[in-house]
Amino acid sequence: MEQISLKENFWKDKNLVKKTVKQKKTYEEILNSYQKSLTDLNNLKDLYSLAFKEKDEETIQDCKKKIEEISKEIKKIEINCFLSGENDDYDIYLEIHAGAGGTESQDWADMLRRMYMKWFDKKNFIYEIISEHKGDEAGIKSSIVKVEGNYLYGLMKSESGVHRLVRISPFDSGARRHTSFASVWVYPVVEDDINIKIDEKDLRIDTYRSSGAGGQHVNTTDSAVRITHIPTKIVVQCQNERSQHKNKETCYKMLKARLYEYEMQKKEEANQKELTSKTDIGWGHQIRSYVLQPYQLVKDLRNKTENTNPTSVLDGNIDQFIEEGIKNKK
């Protein structure tokens, strides 16, 4: 890091400085955590040996509990070491769309967004809802959330895909079992200095009245903005600001991020499969299944990770799925 900071014009490049400081902080946290865990283990080793000789069962059990805690901390360090991809340290946009099925799928999309926001809260990540289209009766048709935190893209990119819910519908008077689908798409917030060419003639820009929160002013002007990139059919939208200009500026940043990810994906062999999964929200394109009835199980269909407590998972306890996704990434 010190060698990078000595390069000519380093301090003039704000984006490079920001990225380097962020990486330095992350590396220091990993190193400090490792050194602390190593020190704690050495101390416990001496304490355990003494307790074993004296047959102090209470102290022995305390040592075992602390060893388990240290093991969890070391596991976190291990996960962080996997995050070495080119864009793993970027912030993200989280985009969620309800599949076919009306209110059922729209409610499921809202449940998914709540699950991720609960996880963000647990990790102290900062997030902001950029766009939201509410469902006809409940839930959301779609939503975009911007999230800031350490190595978010690396942590979250394996969450992209179709998520399936099976439950007894709260909207069905006959209490029948329903299957609902929603798609999740995670893409990086790209730096301003990344060169992505956007030709104005390739864009269709629409304005409309906002439908989300924002006070009395929000529905009196066409402040919301939607931009369609015609060649790729990529659509971005923003309605969280009262100013149409600010919403348009945010849309341009999101479009730049989407186009950057689009170019990245074209270089990967799995690109076509991933793009197909985003356009067909239904059977055959699922990455994870959440079953609430007739039994309870959350199962990742790619790496077979399972959890028999879907209520806990939907409350944001998704670390095991995040971690396995990182370990099994290609």
Q: What is the mean pLDDT of residues 177-200?
A: 85
Question: What is the number of residues in the chain?
Answer: 330
Q: Is 276 exposed, middle or buried (0-12, 13-18, 19+ CB in 10 A)?
A: exposed
| pLDDT of 158 strictly over 50 | yes
pLDDT of residue 184: 95
pLDDT of residue 6: 55
Lowest-confidence pick of 39-53, 66-80, 233-247: 66-80
What is the C-alpha separation between 183 and 95, in angstroms, rounded?
A: 8
What is the C-alpha separation between 319 and 138, in angstroms, rounded?
A: 28
What is the C-alpha separation between 320 and 201, in angstroms, rounded?
A: 45
| pLDDT of 23 strictly over 90 | no
pLDDT of residue 213: 47
SS3 breakdown of the chain: % helix, strand, coil, rounded to 5? 45, 20, 30
Helix (H, G, I), strand (E, B) or coil at 302: coil
What is the C-alpha separation between 127 and 242, in angstroms, rounded?
A: 19
CB of 167 closer than 8 Å to CB of 142: no
The residue ranking higher by pLDDT, 206 or 275, is: 206
**Percentage of the chain with pLDDT > 90?**
37
Average pLDDT score over the chain: 83
Model confidence at 54, in pLDDT bands (50, 70, 90)? Answer: confident
CB of 186 closer than 8 Å to CB of 92: yes
What is the C-alpha separation between 49 and 81, in angstroms, rounded?
A: 32
Alpha helices (H) along 55-172: 57-82, 103-123, 152-156
Model confidence at 297, in pLDDT bands (50, 70, 90)? Answer: very high
Model confidence at 102, in pLDDT bands (50, 70, 90)? Answer: confident
Q: Is the dihedral of CA 108, 97, 211, 135 positive or negative?
A: negative
Q: What is the mean pLDDT of residues 16-33?
A: 74
Nearest alpha carbon to residue 253 among 238, 263, 264 = 238
The residue ranking higher by pLDDT, 174 or 266, is: 174
Helix (H, G, I), strand (E, B) or coil at 52: helix
Model confidence at 31, in pLDDT bands (50, 70, 90)? Answer: confident
Q: How far is CA 311 from the centre of its chain?
A: 19
DSSP 212: S
